[in-house]
């Protein structure tokens, strides 16, 4: 298995495990959907990947400028379409501490815009699904 490959196995009931780069991520389904609710659902991880990617770029921005992250945090909310039940809007708010320099307010937003997860959503890759024996 190489660094670009993720191996997915099944860990009991509705648990699914992804292994890559020497790490493992376990997912589960909520109890109302027949799972054990012992790990995040895959879609929850997808949403968390967007939020944590944005958080990484905020952190990197602040570290580069030697700005404290004390009291700084992000929240992310989603809005779904009633018709399609698909998310149609993602809102990320950067909560700045009172002493955060005004001169960096627009720049920190631009930093979040560099998030690679967000970039892949805006220009999604092609998917190919196939079966392989053995």
Q: Residue 16: which of 27, 7, 5 has the closest Cα? A: 27
Q: Is 12 exposed, middle or buried (0-12, 13-18, 19+ CB in 10 A)?
A: exposed
pLDDT, tens digit, for every residue of 3-51? 789 999 999 999 999 999 999 999 999 999 999 999 999 999 999 999 9
Calculate mean pLDDT across residues 63-89: 96
Enter the pTM of the model: 0.90
pLDDT score, position 1: 67
pLDDT, tens digit, for every residue of 42-68? 999 999 999 999 999 999 999 999 999
Q: Return mean pLDDT, the chain.
A: 96
Which residue carries 């690679």 as its tokens?
A: 116
């Amino acid at each position: 298995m190489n660094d670009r490959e993720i191996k997915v196995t099944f860990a009991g009931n509705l648990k699914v495990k992804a292994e890559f780069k020497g790490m493992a991520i376990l997912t589960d389904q909520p109890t109302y959907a027949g799972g054990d609710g012992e790990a995040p659902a895959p879609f929850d991880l997808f949403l968390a990947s967007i939020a944590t990617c944005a958080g990484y770029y905020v952190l990197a921005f602040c570290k580069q400028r030697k700005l404290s992250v004390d009291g700084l945090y992000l929240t992310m909310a989603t809005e779904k379409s009633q018709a399609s039940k698909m998310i149609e809007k993602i809102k990320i708010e950067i909560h700045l501490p009172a002493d955060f320099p005004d001169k960096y307010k627009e720049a920190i937003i631009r930093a979040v815009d560099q998030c690679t997860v967000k970039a892949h959503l805006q220009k999604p890759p092609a998917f190919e699904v196939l079966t392989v024996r053995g």
